[in-house]
A and B are shown apart, each in its own frame.
Chain A
Amino acid sequence: MPADRDDSPGRESNQNAAISRRSFLKGTGLAVAAAGVAPGRALAGPGSDQEEVPVFGPGPVPIRFELNGEEVRVEVEPATTLLDLLRDRLDLTGSKRVCDRGSCGACTVQVNGRAVASCSILAVDVTGQKVRTIEGLSSAEGELSPLQQAFVDHDALQCGFCTPGMVMSCQALLERNPKPDRPAIAAGIAGNICRCGTYQNVFEAVEQASGQGGGK
Chain B
Amino acid sequence: MRSFKMAQPRSLAGALAVLGGDDDKVRALAGGTDLLGLIKDRIAAPEMLVNLKGIDGLGEITETARGLEIGALVKLADLAEDARLRVGWPAIHQSLLETATPQLRNVGTLGGNLCQRPRCWYFRNEHYDCKKKGGTRCFAHDGENEYHAVYGNGICCIVHPSNLAGPMIAQEAIIEVAGPEGRREVTAEAFFTSPDEDVLRENQLAPGELVVRVILPPASPKARSVYVETRERQSFDWALCGVSVVLTMADQEIEAARVVFNAVAPVPLRRHDLEGMLEGRRLNEATVDKVCLAAPLGANPLEQNAYKLTLMKAVLRRALNRLKESAR
Contact = CB atoms under 8 A, between A and B. Distances in A.
Contacts of B236: 103, 190-191, 193
Interface stretch (A109-117, A151-159, A203-211): A109-117
Interface residues of A, number: 60
Contact of A57 (B3, B10, B106): B3
Contact of A121 (B16, B32, B40): B32
Contacts of A75: none
A8 B15 CA distance: 13
A191 B2 contact: no
Contact of B18 (A42, A81, A169): A42
Interface string A167-188: 0010011000000000000111
Given A23-B5, A50-B13, A105-B103, A117 B33 contact: yes
B1 interface: yes
Interface of A: 1-2, 4-5, 8, 11-12, 14-15, 18-19, 23, 25, 28-30, 42-43, 45, 50-58, 61, 77-81, 100-103, 105, 108, 111, 114-117, 120-122, 124-125, 169, 172-173, 186-191, 193
A93 to B, nearest CB: 19
A48 to B, nearest CB: 9
B293 interface: no
B33 A18 contact: no
Interface in B6-26: 6-22, 25-26
**Central interface residue in B2, B51, B106, by most chain A CB within 10 Å:** B106
B103 A122 contact: no
Contacts of B22: 15
Contact residues of B: prevailing secondary structure? mixed
A170 to B, nearest CB: 11
Interface of B: 1-22, 25-26, 29, 32-33, 36-37, 39-40, 47-49, 51, 53-54, 77, 100-104, 106-107, 178-183, 208, 234-236
B16 A1 contact: yes
Nearest to B22: A15
Contact of A116 (B15, B25, B36, B103): B103
B5 A55 contact: yes
B17 A117 contact: no
23 contacts: A1-B16, A1-B182, A2-B12, A8-B17, A43-B17, A51-B17, A53-B8, A54-B7, A55-B6, A55-B18, A58-B3, A58-B5, A61-B6, A78-B49, A79-B3, A79-B39, A100-B40, A108-B103, A114-B106, A115-B106, A120-B36, A186-B235, A190-B236
A122 B8 contact: no
Contacts of A114: 77, 106
Nearest to A109: B103
A203 B33 CA distance: 28
B103 A53 contact: no
A57 B4 contact: yes
A169 B106 CA distance: 12
Contact of A190 (B13, B32, B102): B102
Given A11-B20, A12-B20, A51-B10, A191 B3 contact: no
Given A102-B37, A191-B236, A43 B6 contact: no
Contacts of B54: 28-29
B102 A11 contact: no
A110 to B, nearest CB: 10
Given A23-B5, A101-B40, 20 more contacts: A5-B13, A11-B180, A11-B208, A14-B20, A15-B17, A15-B21, A28-B8, A52-B14, A53-B10, A53-B18, A55-B48, A57-B3, A57-B5, A102-B37, A108-B103, A121-B32, A121-B33, A121-B107, A122-B6, A190-B236
Nearest to B40: A100
B26 A15 contact: yes
Contacts of B9: 51, 53
A16 B235 CA distance: 45
A79 B7 contact: no
Contacts of B15: 53
